[in-house]
């Protein structure tokens, strides 16, 4: 049986920051695919996840916006094949940070001198290199990730950060995600990049990771998830290990920095792009 999805089409003003905010909010609610055009965002969710409660959440969210800026255009059921090819065609190679080129397999690129190519076929998983939080993580990974042998990537999405860590020289990377589609997609991308001997992808949250003593932990998720998981994340980090956090807005900075300090971490650096921020800290 073909997968059936709910397609929500929102009419949204052509404001990049606003569109990122909307996509990120819907991703947090379980939407796993987005297609933009000049006048709208097409948002995709597996049909079993479309509940009355989620319908109410979305309606309330839209009601909070200015009608001239965000409005609901349509809700429909579609088969995956009806939109996936169109969406894939919008994904083009992109440079992220100083060293990375992120490219789908259907747009192969040659590595420039000093550049690292990461092949990502995103399907519907979060983490293509086009979102600010992913680019922020890649920038911080370049700065703090070299010579970090053992890495944990929480909420791995497409596997982009886990693969990037492997290509920077990590010898053992564990990626986890609670979304089944992301789990499958990340495993496929790991193989496409020839990282199968380095990167392991597991389905589930932290309870599926028995290891401790990681040299680096990557958490490109949400403020709520970071604050909830932080004590457990720090326990899995060795002394002098580094944690990189994003998926955060400017207003989240103080609460996450305070939580890191409370868990015995010292701030190392930060990064900013538009409304999004990244935070790097070390366990003392």
Percent of all residues in the chain with a pLDDT value above 90, rounded to a whole number: 58
pTM of the model: 0.75
Length of the chain measured in residues: 284
Fold of 4-87: Alpha-Beta Plaits (3.30.70)
Spatial strand order in the sheet of 116-119: 94-96, 100-103, 116-119
Give tens-digit pLDDT for 56-95. 999 999 999 888 889 999 999 887 655 556 666 667 888 8
Report the percentage of the chain scoring pLDDT > 70.
93
pLDDT digit string, tens, across residues 209-240: 999 999 999 999 888 899 999 999 999 999 99
Give the model confidence (pLDDT) of 102-139 as tens digits. 998 888 888 777 899 999 887 655 566 678 889 999 99
Taking the C-alpha atoms of residue 209 and residue 244, their distance in angstroms, rounded to an integer, is 18
**153/162 Cα distance (integer angstroms):** 6
Q: Taking a C-beta distance cutoff of 8 angstroms, is the pair 218, 263 a contact?
A: no
Instruction: Map tokens 């009608």 to a residue.
Output: 67
Q: Where in the chain is the domain with CATH 3.40.50.150?
A: 131-283
What pLDDT, in 10s, does the model give residues 241-260? 999 999 898 999 999 999 99
**Segments of the chain assigned to CATH 3.30.70:** 4-87
Instruction: Evaluate whether 19 touches 12 at the Cβ level (below 8 Å).
Output: yes
In words, the CATH class of domain 131-283 is alpha beta
């Amino acid at each position: 049986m073909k997968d059936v999805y709910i397609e929500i089409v929102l009419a949204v003003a052509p404001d990049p920051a606003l569109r990122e905010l909307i996509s990120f909010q819907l991703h947090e609610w379980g939407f796993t695919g987005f297609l933009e055009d000049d006048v709208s965002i097409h948002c995709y969710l597996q049909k079993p996840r479309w509940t009355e409660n989620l319908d109410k959440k979305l309606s309330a969210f839209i009601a909070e916006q200015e009608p001239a800026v965000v409005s609901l255009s349509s809700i429909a059921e579609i088969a995956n094949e009806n939109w996936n090819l169109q969406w894939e065609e919008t994904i083009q190679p992109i440079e992220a940070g100083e060293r990375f080129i992120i490219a789908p397999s259907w747009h192969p690129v040659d590595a420039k001198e000093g550049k690292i190519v990461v092949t990502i076929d995103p399907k519907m998983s979060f983490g293509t290199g086009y979102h600010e939080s992913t680019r922020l993580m890649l920038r911080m990974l370049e700065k703090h990730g070299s010579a970090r042998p053992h890495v944990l990537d929480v909420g791995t999405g497409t596997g982009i950060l886990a693969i990037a860590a492997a290509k920077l020289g990590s010898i053992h990377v564990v990626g986890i995600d609670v979304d089944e589609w992301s789990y499958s997609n990340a495993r496929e991308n790991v193989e496409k990049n020839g990282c199968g001997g380095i990167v392991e992808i597991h389905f589930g949250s932290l309870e599926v990771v028995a290891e401790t003593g990681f040299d680096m932990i990557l958490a490109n998720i949400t403020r709520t998830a970071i604050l909830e998981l932080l004590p457990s994340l720090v326990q899995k980090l060795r002394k002098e290990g580094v944690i990189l956090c994003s998926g955060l807005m400017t207003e989240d900075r103080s609460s996450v920095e305070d939580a890191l300090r409370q868990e015995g971490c010292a701030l190392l650096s930060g990064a900013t792009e538009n409304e999004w921020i990244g935070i790097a800290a070390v366990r003392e």
